């Protein structure tokens, strides 16, 4: 049964254009068309509403109509979604949103399929394959694969820590590093929790929970527990880093905006042979006394920008890859703070 062209909620294209174009795509693998189109054609509706095009499907043929730019982007998005499904990767609404966002980049097809003989940009872990979900994540993943020290700056929801943990897990399971060390300052976000019960591990675990969550998302739980027990994976507050030299390691510092200048200098100088270091943080979310002016992250970025062997990736609200409302919330708060 033919699928009739859909409309946005206001029954008009989101981005009307004076000229019209039309193209048709034919997909060979009929078994994945249900996942490609989404339940009740939800993925096609999403593309229509975001790009201001009309889409109709008949069997394995999809016809797209709209402006030249909209039709071209919709075609690239559907092809990228199709390739993702062929590789056995997930295709939820968040992934579709991200592909739509990246469709404005001229290199989308090359990013997904690889270009000029280069492999596609992705990170493989035990549980899933991570692909870029924003234009800036493309630059970030390239830096993670090639640079010794990377600073990842930006608001919540941009994938700074998650992508870094995925890259660290990938290098650990391939043997290019021997240890994975995850750290963050034990600073509360605007509240005082008081003394926590238990031994040292039980006291610091609540601060490090986001790192555990990312680990368990990239590796089976039994492998995480085994590697934690053997010391291959270590999770500790930044205070435990003093006096160490971390060789053959992938080192991640999360919530780095809450380090002091002295802590940041101490952490950066732990760098050893055959290691990679990633420093993640949001310069605008500083919880230590003195605010941004006293942040070790802001101080380090000012000192080290342009130094050879150091990359700085700056995410913006447009790179938020959580639920779209998260980006709107961040934008609203930043706009209010600026005014």
Among the residue ranges 188-192, 236-240, 254-258, 287-291, the one predicted with the least confidence is 188-192
Distance set, CA 231 to CA 179, 217, 328 (Å): 8, 19, 40
CATH superfamily of 123-321: P-loop containing nucleotide triphosphate hydrolases (3.40.50.300)
Beta-ladder partners of 182: 235, 252
Supply the pLDDT for residue 273. Answer: 92
Written as one string, the DSSP assignment of 141-178 is HHHHHH-SEEEEE--TTS-HHHHHHHHHHHHHHHTS-S
- Give the mean pLDDT of 208-234: 88
Supply the pLDDT for residue 105. Answer: 56
Under 8 Å between Cβ of 189 and 257: no
Task: Please give the DSSP secondary-structure letter assigned to residue 248.
Answer: S
Q: Which helix (H) or strand (E) holds 290?
A: none
- The CATH class, in words, for 21-113 is alpha beta
Q: Other C-beta atoms within 10 Å of 161: how many?
A: 23
Q: How far apart are CA 123 and CA 315, in angstroms?
A: 19
- Sort strands 310-314 and 61-66 into parallel, antiparallel or unpaired: unpaired
- Give the mean pLDDT of 269-290: 91
Residue 1 pLDDT level (bands cut at 50, 70, 90)? very low
> If 0-12 CB within 10 Å is exposed, 13-18 middle and 19+ buried, where does residue 58 land?
exposed
- Give the mean pLDDT of 252-279: 93
Residue 104 pLDDT level (bands cut at 50, 70, 90)? low
User: Is residue 111 scored above 70 in pLDDT?
Assistant: no
Residue ranges per structural domain of the chain: 21-113, 123-321
Q: Other C-beta atoms within 10 Å of 273: how many?
A: 9
pLDDT tens sequence across 119-143 = 567 787 877 777 777 778 888 998 9
């Amino acid at each position: 049964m033919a699928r009739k062209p859909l409309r946005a909620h206001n029954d008009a294209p989101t981005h009307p254009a004076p000229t019209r174009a039309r193209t048709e795509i034919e997909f060979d693998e009929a078994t994945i068309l249900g996942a490609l189109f989404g339940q009740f054609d939800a993925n096609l509706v999403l593309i229509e509403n975001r790009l201001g095009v009309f889409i109709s499907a008949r069997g394995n043929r999809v016809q797209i109509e709209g402006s030249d730019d909209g039709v071209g982007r919709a075609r690239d998005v559907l092809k990228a979604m199709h390739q993702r499904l062929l590789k056995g990767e997930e295709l939820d609404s968040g992934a579709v949103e991200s592909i739509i966002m990246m469709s404005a980049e001229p290199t989308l097809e090359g990013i997904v399929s690889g270009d000029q003989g280069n492999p596609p940009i992705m990170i493989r872990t035990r549980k899933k394959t991570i692909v870029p979900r924003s234009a800036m994540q493309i630059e970030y993943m390239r830096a993670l694969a090639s640079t010794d020290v990377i600073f990842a700056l930006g608001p919540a929801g941009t994938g700074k820590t998650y992508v870094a943990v995925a890259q660290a897990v990938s290098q650990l399971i391939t043997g290019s590093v021997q240890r994975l060390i995850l750290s963050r300052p034990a600073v509360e976000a605007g509240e005082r929790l008081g003394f926590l019960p238990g031994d040292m591990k039980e006291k610091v675990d609540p601060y490090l929970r986001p790192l555990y969550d990312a680990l368990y998302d990239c590796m089976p739980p039994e492998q995480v527990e085994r590697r934690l027990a053997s010391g291959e994976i270590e999770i500790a507050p930044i205070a435990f880093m003093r006096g160490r030299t971390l060789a053959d390691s992938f080192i991640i510092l999360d919530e780095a905006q809450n380090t002091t200048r002295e802590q940041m200098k101490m952490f950066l100088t732990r760098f050893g042979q055959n290691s990679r270091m990633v420093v993640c943080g949001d310069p605008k979310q500083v919880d230590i006394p003195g605010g941004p002016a006293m942040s070790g992250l802001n101080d380090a970025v000012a000192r080290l920008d342009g130094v050879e062997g150091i990359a700085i990736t700056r995410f913006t609200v447009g790179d938020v890859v959580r639920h779209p409302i998260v980006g709107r919330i961040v934008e609203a708060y930043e706009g209010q703070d600026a005014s």
